[in-house]
Amino acid sequence: MTQNLTVLGSTGSIGKNTLDVVARHPDRYRVFALSAATQVDLLLAQCAAFAPRYAVMSSAAHARELAQKIKANSLSVEVLQAPDALETIASHDEVDAVMGAIVGAAGLSPCLAAARAGKRLLLANKEALVVGGEVFMAAVREGGATLLPIDSEHSAIFQSLPEDPATWPRRVQHVLLTASGGPFRTRAPDTLRDVTPAEACAHPNFSMGRKISIDSATMMNKALEVIEARWLFDLAPEQIKVVIHPQQIIHSMVQFVDASVIAQLGTPDMRVPIACGLAWPERVASGAAALDFTQLAALTFEEADATRFPGLHLSWQALRAAPGTTAVLNAANEVAVAAFLDGRIRFDQIHGVNLATLEAVVPSKPDSVLALLALDAQARAAADGLVRRLQ
């Protein structure tokens, strides 16, 4: 049966990889809707290639420009404007599956709309879960949605776990998230103050969006993934461990109570977890190269150095603090990363902004999306103030 698919954030790194996999299986997947923030020409090209019913842009000006170009190219795609339209295309009756590939907390509301509407939700947008936490998981349960992780580590854990979640608590001892260590794994910590955005975006194994590239360099990406794992697999903070594995061949592992470890391996190519989520529990070709074990030199592992990566530990701290603290951490980090990319603060100041925001903003049990969005705004304002003082 053909699945109707909405891709939220189709012009990004995950969005483009999703469409690459989809294009390999025109009999299985039909693109129903696409969305982008600002990249009009790329979204236009995607509309020409995939003929969706809807295309959503984030501003009125971009939506107008796209609509004109759609008309000039005689395409029959209806152009809508975010934010409301994102929820519409995520929850539309005719949609079977939604790829959540927007970056940041901006993806929370449309992903929640998909969850509430009981869709098959392929979640790359980890920030949505870090901000949404319990509220997000409740929406998935209540909406009867199927939540499938796309983040490679979480896809690996998902693939390594037994199928029945009811068995996880008694069988699983802990999960081990692998981390590449990013571009600065071996750089002298006292030189991190001089890092430029271009250096930080040069990830050793992946080409990714700018925000996640900076997060990989600070290892805040792994911190967000620890929080993501807590919610996806209902784990206690101490059941989530991180180990650096620079080759990125093992994408993560599960250790069971009998000390047996199950891991998922593959070449580092996001089309693998994307294809896995799209087809689950079936398997379809992803386009990724297969591993050649005779060519694998060595798989190495090391502990993350807390001096070099002080942000990593904020994840466990935030999980143990008041509910909502992970939303504060996420908001602070989004503001700090944007400020670094704009040249307003130094690379090594990202952590300071995150830490100080956590001290300044104490959440009072946000139990609804509105409360979470208000907390997100409050934390952004606090982080913004801190950035200004550093400038």
Q: Which of 319, 335, 320, 324 minimizes the C-alpha distance to 382?
A: 335
User: Is 366 a binder of ligand NAD (CB under 6 A)?
Assistant: no
Cβ 276 to ligand NAD shortest distance, Å: 13
**Strand ranges of the sheet holding 172-179, from the earlier edge strand across to the other edge:** 240-244, 172-179, 250-256, 261-265
> Is 216 within any annotated ligand binding site?
yes
Residue 87 contact, options Mg ion, ligand NAD, none, Cβ 5-8 Å cut-off depending on partner type: none
Residue in this structure with the two tokens 């989004």, named with its chain if needed: 334
Sign of the CA dihedral running 154, 155, 161, 166: positive
The answer to whether 325 and 133 are in contact (CB under 8 A) is: no
DSSP letters of 217-263? HHTHHHHHHHHHHHHHTT--GGGEEEEE-TT--EEEEEEETTS-EEE
- Select 126 or 356, whichever has its Cβ closest to ligand NAD: 126
Stretch that binds ligand NAD, among 31-39, 177-185, 314-322, 380-388 (CB under 6 A): 31-39
Residue 124 contact, options ligand NAD, Mg ion, none, Cβ 5-8 Å cut-off depending on partner type: ligand NAD
Q: Of 137, 183, 206, 348, which lies in the binding site for ligand NAD, with binding defined by CB under 6 A? A: 206
- 139's CB contacts (< 8 A; 6+ apart) are 112, 115, 116, 132, 145
- 46's CB contacts (< 8 A; 6+ apart) are 10, 11, 19, 34, 52, 55
Cα distance between residue 213 and residue 73, in whole Å:
35
User: Is 215 a binder of Mg ion (CB under 5 A)?
Assistant: no
User: Is 115 a binder of ligand NAD (CB under 6 A)?
Assistant: no
Cα distance between residue 105 and residue 324, in whole Å:
13
* Interacting positions 123-182 with ligand NAD (CB under 6 A): 124-127, 151
CB count within 10 Å of CB 280 equals 16
Q: Which of 218, 239, 183 minimizes the C-alpha distance to 306?
A: 218
* Interacting positions 140-169 with Mg ion (CB under 5 A): 151-153
Cβ 368 to ligand NAD shortest distance, Å: 21
Q: Of 19, 21, 31, 36, which lies in the binding site for ligand NAD, with binding defined by CB under 6 A? A: 36
The answer to whether 187 and 264 are in contact (CB under 8 A) is: no
Site string (57-96) toward ligand NAD, x via CB under 6 A:
-x-----------------------x--------------
Residue 212 contact, options ligand NAD, Mg ion, none, Cβ 5-8 Å cut-off depending on partner type: ligand NAD
Would you state the structure tokens that stand for residue 344, as one six-digit string?
Answer: 């307003």
Cβ 174 to ligand NAD shortest distance, Å: 21
Produce one character per residue of 52-75: b if its CB has 16 or more CB atoms within 10 Å, e if not: bbbbbbbeeebbebbbebbeeeee
Cβ 214 to Mg ion shortest distance, Å: 14
Site string (248-287) toward ligand NAD, x via CB under 6 A:
----------------------x-----------------
Residues of the binding site for Mn(2+): 151, 153, 225
Residues of the binding site: 11-14, 37, 125-127, 151-153, 180, 203, 209, 216, 221-222, 225
Question: Residues interacting with ligand NAD, by CB under 6 A?
Answer: 9-15, 36-37, 39, 58, 82, 101-103, 106, 124-127, 151, 206, 208-209, 211-212, 270
Question: Residues interacting with Mg ion, by CB under 5 A?
Answer: 151-153
